[in-house]
Amino acid sequence: MKIRTISGAVFAAIIVGFLLLRQFVNPILFNILICFFSAVGTFEVARALKPISVKIAYPSAIVFGILLVPVYTLFDCVIVKGYGYLASLCLVMLFVDIIAFACDFKVDSFKTSFFSILPIIYPALLIICMAKLNGLDNGFIGLVLLFVISPFTDVMAYFVGMAYNKIKKGNAKKLCPKLSPKKTWAGAIGGTIGGVVGSILVYLIFKPNVNFFAPWLLFVIMGFVGAIINQIGDLIESAIKRKVGIKDMGKIMPGHGGVMDRIDGISFNSAFILLVLALV
């Protein structure tokens, strides 16, 4: 628990540091952190799926993960502003086509083809939403929300689930035992409350200017939905790990695992928060 706490504190400090750089120096600097998420996250997913993918998928995914955010940033901030996402999608399609071409000639299994292409889709298309969110006028608040909802959800889910399970003497109702045996419905409810609390705190501290008839209600909704999405992201990550028989995606964060073990829910939430803040 001590190692996990220290590792989590270091991760939080890095996030805060990049948020400060983004806010007081230049927003583009946050894309450095997003690039790290993309490169390492894609590498972890590709490595995990390597045994059930075609050979070209693994090196292709690594190259793709490294290139994705720089290509987005180059187009959006240097070449033609607003076209970064389109350039990223073109890069995605290029690598999907490369792997699909290899699959057509080397395998006849739909599952193999799917798992070969998956590292190009996940987490890339979600992480690039984070870069797009960074470029919004209210992107700072969006990023703060992104990195507050997730830990509040996870911490509350852990402690509420553990406490309720003790009360029930280990017989608390499981949320999804086939994917994550330790997760309970009590933990999921506690995590959802935690996400709402975290979102409300962001609203109270920063008093963001959003075009909504009741800004506090918007943040309650984002916290509620964001917490649920965060937990769905955790379960999807668990499904991938269970498919290939591994406990963690990596070892870069002692006590937590890999980058994807830490940002699985965050990556899914980036798309949701981007959608909401782009509309208000």
**Arithmetic mean of pLDDT, 80-107:** 83
| Digit-coded pLDDT (tens) for 47-76 | 999 999 988 899 999 999 999 999 999 988
| Digit-coded pLDDT (tens) for 102-148 | 887 665 577 888 899 999 989 988 999 999 999 898 999 999 999 99
Task: Calculate the average pLDDT of the chain.
Answer: 90
| Digit-coded pLDDT (tens) for 161-170 | 999 889 887 8
pLDDT given at position 29: 94
pLDDT band at 197 (very low <50, low <70, confident <90, very high): very high
> In this model, does residue 2 exceed pLDDT 80?
no
**Arithmetic mean of pLDDT, 5-24:** 92
| Domain map (residue ranges) of the chain | 1-135, 138-280
pLDDT band at 1 (very low <50, low <70, confident <90, very high): low
pTM of the model as a whole: 0.92
> In this model, does residue 97 exceed pLDDT 80?
yes
| Digit-coded pLDDT (tens) for 230-278 | 999 999 999 999 988 888 888 888 777 889 999 999 999 999 999 999 9
| HEC-encoded secondary structure of the chain | CHHHHHHHHHHHHHHHHHHHHHHHCCHHHHHHHHHHHHHHHHHHHHHHHHHHCCCCHHHHHHHHHHHHHHHHHHHHHHHCCCCHHHHHHHHHHHHHHHHHHHHHHHCCCHHHHHHHHHHHHCCHHHHHHHHHHHCCCCHHHHHHHHHHHHHHHHHHHHHHHHHHHHHCCCCCCEEECCCEEEEEHHHHHHHHHHHHHHHHHHHHHHCCCCCCCCHHHHHHHHHHHHHHHHHHHHHHHHHHHHHHCCCCCCCCECCCECHHHHHHHHHHHHHHHHHHHHHC
pLDDT band at 42 (very low <50, low <70, confident <90, very high): very high
**Arithmetic mean of pLDDT, 180-204:** 94
